[in-house]
Amino acid sequence: MSQPDNFAAPVETELTGIDLINNPMLNKGTAFTDEERDAFKLHGLLPPHVGSLDEQVERRLKVLRAFATDFERYAFLRELQDSDETLFYALIASNLEETLPLIYTPTVGEGCQRFSEIWHRPRGVFVSYPNRHRIREMLSDPRFDNVRIIVVSDGERILGLGDQGAGGMGISIGKLALYTACAGIHPSETLPVLLDVGTNNQERLDDPLYIGWRNKRIGREEYDAFVEEFVTAVAERWPDVLLHWEDFAGSNAARLLERYRDRLCTFNDDIQGTAAIAASSLMAAVNVTGVPLTEQRIAVLGAGSAGCGIASLLLQAMIDAGVDEVEARRRFFLVDRNGLLVEGLADITPAQRPFLQNPEVVANWSREVPGTVGLADVVSNAHPTVLIGVSGQAGAFSESIVRTMARYIERPVIFPLSNPTSRSEATPEQLMLWSEGRALIGTGSPFPPLHWNGQTRKVNQTNNSYVFPGVGLGVLASGARRITDAMFMVAGKTVAALSPTVRDKDGLLLPPVTELRKVAVAVAKAVALQAQLDGVAQPCDAATLDARIAARVWEPHYRPYRKRG
């Protein structure tokens, strides 16, 4: 697989006039020089002023900040991405803290819900079930020859908002924008894909503007055959591609990962990326609380793919730290819609099985509702040191639950990770108030700064963007053939090692968002080295690996153009 042209070399193209301007990867707008306007017949199509990229960023920022709502800003940035990718990424990279919440969580949630309203230019590939016999044809376009990372969703479980059908393409586009903005993956190496297998969201089906396949979701047998056809076609087209699964329903996420993880280089970010950043944040919290990982008791609300992924990685981290596996499992309390997972329950998934509590453990617990064991009962009786939410249930961390936890734990660690903001299990302000200022808080989406005791503090955003961009960069730089669990473990540990709490117990749990590029490079190196240790990448010396990583980090800037032929 060839890489993109040298990032500094002149661009050669035969496109001219409006065709050149309409190519988002080649368009430079007013930054085309007079010589380029002569050569490519651009006079008259552009205003006479010859500008710079910095001027364009300043102009676009002024417009962006003038909008009244974040959805308007999201739509504006999507338009910019589809018209001038270099300008889009220059704006994003130089304003990460301001723009990441606009191109991804929380605004991308509304972007997916209203995707049909704003779609107007092709980006990525919609692989719809009625066109299943055309998958190879759709993927064969020469524009995709350089693709190295694919983010695919079927739109069934978008953040905490549920089934959005074809609107799930917004997730694939947004995730890949973070690969480029946070890790410098060249845009031409990325491809967003939406597997359109219908939707069970009646609001989408009744919407006359809905752009997806207007049909109920297909059955399990047809679904599996369709996904198999897609994966087979992808592996044939790009043998060394990284396939990133995103926002699949819990009933499909884990089993698809298990089915394909040994057939190609692939991972599920909801399972593995979420687990890694949760582990990073908890490891950083240990620097503050002084309670080692070996002594933590962890309650997780939401025992789907994300909750089980978090618990599995933390379980392995506990075992690695010296805790006996049987004892380590006793320290996890996973609560699903039907309450605490205990032995004897029906419909237990393979991912949930390691975390089933013995019924004898809870037999004598006091309970709010006889016959059930809810989260409040777990907090009252097990006294967890860590509370993690991936339930999508707004307000699930109630005042009573938080105050009870804080009664037994000096520095409770509480991570309401559900996205978007409207689905968060609690707000940082609530958690700080109910814990009397003692909670260590990490949220899935960005929140405004906290005001407590006359001080203002930023809120830790425990977001996957700290992990998966660096994982992708490390995979590409090392040529890894597969992704192992150890690669995500080391990614989490690398982010934790960069925590400000290493030097200052009053610091944030995670590095500032403005340092995401630095974080991605560090994660990439650690992941690449682990891939070599795991035997899924060819060994190379440290200097060579550093050079490979640096060579893959694209900085958005305009290159000179010359006419081909």
Say which of 104, 260, 558, 561 is annotated catalytic. 104
What's the pLDDT at 1?
A: 36
Q: Please identify which of the residues 28, 74, 89, 175 carries the catalytic annotation.
A: 175
Local confidence band at 2 (pLDDT 50, 70, 90 cut-offs):
very low
Decide if 257 contacts 271 (C-beta within 8 A): yes
In the block, residue with structure tokens 């260590």: 440
Q: Please give the mean pLDDT across all residues of the chain.
A: 96
The single-letter code of the amino acid at 255 is R
How crowded is residue 85: how many other Cβ atoms within 10 Å of its Cβ? 21
| pLDDT per position as a tens digit, 255-309 | 999 999 999 999 999 999 999 999 999 999 999 999 999 999 999 999 999 999 9
**Looking at residues 50-68, what average pLDDT do you find?**
98
Per-residue pLDDT for 251 more than 90? no
pLDDT at 4 over 70: no
Q: Is the per-residue pLDDT at 24 higher than 70?
A: yes
* Strand pairing report for 561-563 and 11-13: parallel
* pLDDT in the model for residue 369: 86
Does residue 453 sit in the same domain as residue 548? no
User: Residues 458, 471: one domain?
Assistant: no
CA distance 464 to 413: 18
Identify the helix (H) or strand (E) that includes residue 288.
helix 274-289
The residue out of 433, 462, 491 marking a domain boundary is 462
pLDDT at residue 497 tops 90: yes
Considering the domain architecture, whether residues 101 and 221 belong to the same structural domain is answered as yes
Structural element, H or E, at residue 137: helix 135-139
Percent of the chain with pLDDT over 70: 99
The H-or-E segment that residue 164 falls in is none
Q: Is 475 exposed, middle or buried (0-12, 13-18, 19+ CB in 10 A)?
A: buried
Q: How many helices (H) and strands (E) does the chain have?
A: 24, 16
Residues contacting residue 101 through CB under 8 Å, at least 6 positions apart: 70, 107, 445, 446
Please report, in range form, the residues annotated as the binding site. 157, 246-247, 270, 419, 463
Other residues' Cβ atoms within 10 Å of the Cβ of residue 454: 5
Q: What is the pTM of this model?
A: 0.95
Same domain, 325 and 409: yes
Q: Of the candidates 389, 399, 396, 326, which has an alpha carbon nearest to the alpha carbon of residue 361?
A: 326
pLDDT above 90 for 324: yes
Q: How far is CA 4 from CA 25, 178, 447, in A?
A: 12, 19, 37
User: What phi and psi, each to the nearest 5 degrees, are found at residue 314?
Assistant: -65, -35
339 in the same domain as 446:
yes
Residue 306 belongs to domain with CATH number: 3.40.50.720
Which domain does 353 fall in, by range? 272-462
**Residue 280 counted as domain residue:** yes
* CATH number (domain holding residue 520): 3.40.50.10380
Instruction: Assess whether pLDDT exceeds 60 at residue 3.
Output: no
pLDDT tens figures, 113-162: 999 999 999 999 999 999 999 999 999 999 999 999 999 999 999 998 99
Which of 248, 280, 300 is a domain's end point? Answer: 248
Residues 419 and 479 in one domain: no
**Portion of the chain with pLDDT greater than 90, in percent:** 93
At 143, the amino acid letter reads R
Do residue 202 and residue 342 come from a single domain? Answer: no
**Does residue 259 fall inside a structural domain?**
no
* Cross-sheet strand order for the sheet of 386-389: 339-340, 332-336, 298-301, 386-389, 413-416, 440-443, 460-461
175 is catalytic: yes
- Dig out the tokens for 202 from the structure: 């009646």
Which residue in this structure is represented by tokens 């410098």? 184
First-to-last CA distance in the chain? 25
Question: Mean pLDDT throughout 240-256?
Answer: 95
Token couple for 34 = 């007079």
Per residue in 436-490, pLDDT (tens digit) is: 999 999 999 889 999 888 888 899 889 999 999 999 999 999 999 999 999 999 9
3-state secondary structure of 369: coil
Nearest to 72 by CA among 44, 30, 100, 114: 114
Say whether both 342 and 458 belong to one domain. yes
Does one domain contain both 99 and 183?
Answer: yes
**Helix 250-260 and helix 220-237, axial crossing angle in degrees, nearest 10:** 40
Which residue would you say has higher pLDDT here, 171 or 419? 171
Position 371 scores a pLDDT of 83
Residue 12 lies in a domain: no
Q: In the prediction, which pLDDT does 5 show?
A: 57
Q: What is the pLDDT of residues 507-564, one digit of tens each?
A: 999 999 999 999 999 999 999 999 999 999 999 999 999 999 999 999 999 999 999 8
* pLDDT tens-digit series, residues 349-377: 999 999 999 999 999 999 988 888 999 99
Residues 212 and 288 in one domain: no
CB distance 305 to 500 below 8 Å = no
Could you write out the DSSP letters of every residue in 168-203? GHHHHHHHHHHHHHHH---GGGEEEEEEE-----HH
- Listed residue (17, 15, 190) closest to 89, CA to CA: 190
pLDDT, tens digit, for every residue of 177-210? Answer: 999 999 999 999 999 999 999 999 999 999 999 9
Contacts by 141-146, CB closer than 8 A, 24 or more apart: 144/191, 144/237, 145/2, 146/1, 146/2, 146/3, 146/4, 146/186, 146/188, 146/189
Residue 131 to residues 127, 135, 147, 230, 232: CA-CA distances in angstroms? 7, 7, 22, 11, 16
